[in-house]
Amino acid sequence: MPVAVGSIVYNPETMLRYFTAGESHGEALVAFLSGMPAGLKVDQAFLDRELWRRQQGYGRGGRMKIERDTAHILSGVRDGMTIGSPIAVLLENKDWKNWAESLPVEKGDPAKHKGVASPRPGHADLAGALKYNFPEARYVLERASARESAARVAIGAVAKLLLRKLGMEVLSHVISVGEVSIENGATWKQIQALQAREEILLSCVDAEVEQQMKGEVDRVLKTGDSVGGVFEVVAQNVPPGLGTYAQWDERLDARLAAAVMSLQAVKAVEIGAGISAAASPGSAVHDEIGYQQTGPFTGFTRARNNAGGIEGGVSNGEEVRVRGYLKPISTLRRPLQSVDFATREPVKAAYERSDVCVVPAAGVAAEAMVALTLAGCALEKFGGDSITEILRNFKGYLEQLKNY
Ligand SMILES: Cc1cc2nc3c(=O)[nH]c(=O)nc-3n(C[C@H](O)[C@H](O)[C@H](O)COP(=O)(O)O)c2cc1C
DSSP per residue over 90-149, as a string? EEE-GGGGGTTTTS-SS---GGG-----SPPTTSSHHHHHHHHT-SSSHHHHHHHSGGGH
| Separation CA 286–CA 291 (nearest Å) | 16
pLDDT of the chain, 404 residues: tens digit per residue: 455 555 555 545 568 999 999 999 999 999 999 999 999 999 999 999 999 999 999 999 866 666 699 999 999 999 999 999 999 999 999 999 999 999 999 999 999 999 999 999 999 999 999 999 999 999 999 999 999 999 999 999 999 999 999 999 999 999 999 999 999 889 999 999 999 899 999 999 999 999 999 999 999 999 999 999 999 999 999 999 999 999 999 999 999 999 999 999 999 999 999 999 999 999 999 999 999 988 999 999 999 999 999 999 999 999 999 999 999 999 999 999 999 999 999 999 988 889 999 999 999 999 999 999 999 999 999 989 999 999 999 999 999 999 99
- First-to-last alpha carbon distance for the chain, in angstroms, is 31
- Pick from 25, 52, 330 the residue to mutate for probing ligand 1's pocket: most ligand atoms within 8 Å of its CB: 330
| Separation CA 379–CA 347 (nearest Å) | 52
**How far apart are the CA of 1 and the centre of ligand 1, in A?**
33
- Helix or strand holding residue 159 (H, E): helix 149-165
Q: C-alpha distances in angstroms, 299 versus 209, 289, 294, 296, 317? A: 37, 10, 5, 8, 11
What's the pTM? 0.96
Predicted local distance difference test score (pLDDT) of residue 61 = 82
User: Rounded to the nearest 10 degrees, how much is the dihedral formed by the CA atoms of 39, 249, 363, 93?
Assistant: -60
- What residues flank ligand 1, with Cβ below 6 Å? 61, 122-124, 144-146, 149, 263-265, 327, 329-331, 354-355, 358, 361-362, 365
The amino acid at residue 158 is V
Task: Tell me the β-bridge partners of 348.
Answer: 337
Residue closest by Cα to atom 20 of ligand 1: 123
Residue 34 three-state SS: strand
**How far apart are the CA of 86 and the centre of ligand 1, in A?**
29
Of 49, 8, 22, 25, nearest to 364 by C-alpha is: 49
Which of ligand 1's atoms lies nearest the C-alpha of 144? 21
Residue closest by Cα to atom 27 of ligand 1: 265
**How far apart are the CA of 144 and the centre of ligand 1, in A?**
8
